[in-house]
Amino acid sequence: MKKIPSFTIDHVKLLRGIYVSRRDMVGGEEVTTFDIRMKEPNREPVMHPGALHTIEHLAATYLRNHPQWMDRIVYWGPMGCLTGNYLLMRGHLEPSDILELMQETFRFVADFEGDIPGAAPIDCGNWLLHDLPMAKWESRKYLEEVLLNAKEENLVYPER
């Protein structure tokens, strides 16, 4: 079988950042898939599933309610490898176009207080798997170390 595009990225060289993973035409409209990479693959510990699940709930809620961007958000969800998230958005976008949005999103998660949206048995298939303190810690770390100091190597996939 042919490798899917995400398996052709050099994960040995990949840094934390925001990358265009792929672009697809869907119903005559372009959809950009972003790799929101929070951990360096195979070089640092992955996120705990409870923290990543909480980030998913908070980020998805924030993005789908964002006054400027909500109509362009298609999907936000965790990577199976536990090193980041995928964000699908309508339109031809670059990481620089959404850097401020990601800063806002991760600031929202890092500062969040209260009940996690959708963390109830009626709303979520694994509502007990949440870790707000670690979600906040991981989000603050990513925000301060990567998003607020993003360089080209955090926005463009490394050469293979």
Is 159 inside a domain boundary? no
Secondary structure of 89-155 in the HEC alphabet? Answer: EECCCCHHHHHHHHHHHHHHHHHCCCCCCCCCCCCCCCCCCCCHHHHHHHHHHHHHHCHHHCCHHHC
- pLDDT per position as a tens digit, 54-99: 999 999 999 999 999 999 999 999 999 999 999 999 999 999 999 9
CATH number of residue 116's parent domain: 3.30.1360.80
Q: What share of the chain is helix, strand, coil (3-state, %, to 5)?
A: 40, 20, 40
Position 7 scores a pLDDT of: 85
Q: pLDDT band at residue 4, thresholds of 50, 70 and 90?
A: confident
* Residue 20 belongs to some domain of the structure: yes
78 assigned to some structural domain = yes
Residue 156 lies in a domain: no
Tell me, what's the pLDDT at 84? 98
Report pLDDT digits (tens) over 96-136.
999 999 999 999 999 999 999 999 999 999 999 999 999 99
pLDDT beyond 80 at 5: no
Q: Quick check: is 112 in a domain?
A: yes
Residue 42: predicted pLDDT:
95
Residue-number span of the structural domain to which 48 is assigned? 5-149
pLDDT at residue 6 greater than cutoff 90: no
Which residue's structure tokens are 């991760």?
106
Question: What's the number of domains the chain is made of?
Answer: 1
**154 domain residue, yes or no:** no
79 domain-assigned: yes
With a cut of 90, say whether residue 3 has pLDDT above it: no
Asked whether residue 160 is assigned to any structural domain, the reply reads no
Q: Would you say the pTM of this structure is higher than 0.85?
A: yes
pLDDT tens readout for residues 8-64: 888 999 999 999 999 999 999 999 999 999 999 999 999 999 999 999 999 999 999
